[in-house]
């Protein structure tokens, strides 16, 4: 067990009152999902499996829901990252304004590429989709703080200040040495004999027609949740031939 893992129960106890305050702010506890993940990430430097489990228990959500939220957003990291996470926008407005030069400059300067962390654990680098600051293209985020109108000259100054520990944005907490990338590759996990924790007790986690751990067909579980059948979700579900079949004929036919 790593030091971080050993220390997690104490961290959890320490953060519990804060978590409860956050949950109390919302009418529906599920709405506290993102703030709680942020809170644990702030203290651990990334969103650990223990943190995801703790959040799922606090909010009474399945672990798969928490995991899929964490893996969806580029705001969250499932493995340790560098002290400075540099996320450069490669969206259309930024690309038209020179993002390709910015990205090439970062790669050359740091000698790493997309989704990689430098050997000394100082920098993690990622090229991300539109950061919604197109009017200030080219833009990027450093540890989730915006930097606008980025130029190669700015990059030199920025990297120098980060190396010197004088950059305005504070470094990420590092509770573990970061590996070469923070991305979990599903194939390599399977090859290692492991898989996503939320999928561990599922018989066939990628098959909506498969059984969950209680022996219920997963799509039936979805169909039993009425809130899913509003707006876009309903439209999307209704185009799936299997779902249409079940809706019209029932699951057991």
Q: Concatenated DSSP letters for 109-146?
A: HHT--TTEE-TTSSEEEEEES--S-GGG-S-EEETTEE
| Residue 53: both structure tokens together | 């489990």
Does residue 102 interact with ligand FES by CB under 6 A?
A: no
Alpha helices (H) along 3-47: 3-24, 33-44
* Range in contact with ligand FES (rule: CB under 6 A) among 129-137, 173-181, 188-196, 205-213: 129-137
Name residue, tokens 């993102």.
Answer: 34
What are phi and psi for residue 26, nearest 5 degrees? -110, 145
CB 127 within 8 A of CB 103: yes
State which of residues 131, 172, 237, 243 lies at the interface with ligand FES (CB under 6 A). Answer: 131
Considering beta carbons, is residue 129 or 201 the nearer one to ligand FES?
Answer: 129
Taking CB under 6 A as the criterion, which residues in 79-98 touch ligand FES?
89, 91-94
The CB-nearest residue to ligand FES is 91
Contact 155, 123 (CB under 8 A): no
Q: Which of residues 183-242 bind ligand FES (CB under 6 A)?
A: none
Return the residues of window 105-124 that contact ligand FES according to CB under 6 A: none
Residue 19 binds to ligand FES (criterion: CB under 6 A): no
Task: Using CB atoms within 10 Å of the CB of residue 67, give its burial: 0 to 12 exposed, 13 to 18 middle, 19+ buried.
Answer: buried
Of these, 52, 63, 137, 246, which contacts ligand FES (CB under 6 A)? Answer: 137
Nearer to ligand FES, 64 or 94 (CB): 94
- Using the contact rule CB under 6 A, the part of the chain among 116-124, 127-135, 209-217, 223-231 near ligand FES is 127-135
Comparing CB distances to ligand FES, the nearer of 62 and 151 is 151
Q: Which is nearer to ligand FES, 22 or 99 (CB)?
A: 99
Closer to ligand FES by Cβ: residue 51 or 147: 147
The whole-angstrom separation of Cα 203 and Cα 90 is: 38
**Shortest distance, position 132 Cβ to ligand FES, whole Å:** 6
Distance between CA atoms of residues 14 and 22, nearest Å: 14
Instruction: Please report how the helices 33-44 and 63-72 are oriented relative to each other, as an axis angle in degrees rounded to 10.
Output: 70
The reply on whether position 134 binds ligand FES by CB under 6 A is: yes
241 exposed, middle or buried (CB, 10 Å; 0-12, 13-18, 19+)? exposed
Q: How far is the CB of 147 from ligand FES (least distance, A)?
A: 11
Rank residues 85 and 89 by Cβ distance to ligand FES and give the closer one: 89
Applying CB under 6 A, which residues contact ligand FES? 89, 91-94, 130-134, 137, 139
């Amino acid at each position: 067990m790593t030091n971080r893992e050993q220390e997690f129960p104490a961290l959890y106890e320490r953060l519990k009152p804060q978590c409860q305050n956050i949950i109390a702010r919302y009418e529906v506890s599920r709405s506290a999902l993102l703030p709680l993940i942020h809170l644990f990430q702030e203290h651990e430097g990334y969103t650990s499996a223990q943190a995801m489990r703790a959040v799922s228990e606090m909010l009474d959500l399945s672990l798969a829901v928490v995991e899929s939220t964490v893996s969806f957003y580029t705001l969250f990291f499932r493995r340790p990252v560098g002290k400075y996470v540099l996320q450069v926008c490669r969206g259309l407005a930024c690309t038209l304004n020179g993002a390709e030069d910015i990205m090439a400059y970062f790669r050359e300067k740091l000698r790493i590429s997309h989704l990689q962390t430098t050997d000394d654990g100082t920098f993690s680098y990622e090229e991300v989709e539109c950061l919604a600051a197109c009017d200030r293209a080219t833009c990027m985020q450093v540890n989730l703080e915006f930097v606008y109108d980025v130029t190669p000259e700015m990059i030199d100054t920025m990297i120098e200040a980060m190396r010197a520990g004088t950059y305005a944005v504070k470094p990420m907490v590092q509770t573990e040495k970061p590996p070469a990338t923070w991305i979990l590759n599903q194939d390599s996990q399977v090859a290692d004999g492991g898989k996503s924790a939320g999928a561990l007790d599922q018989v066939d986690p990628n098959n909506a027609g498969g059984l969950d751990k209680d022996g219920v067909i997963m799509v039936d579980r979805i169909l039993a949740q009425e809130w899913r059948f509003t707006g876009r979700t309903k439209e999307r579900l209704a185009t799936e031939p299997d779902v249409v079949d079940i809706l019209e004929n029932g699951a057991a036919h």
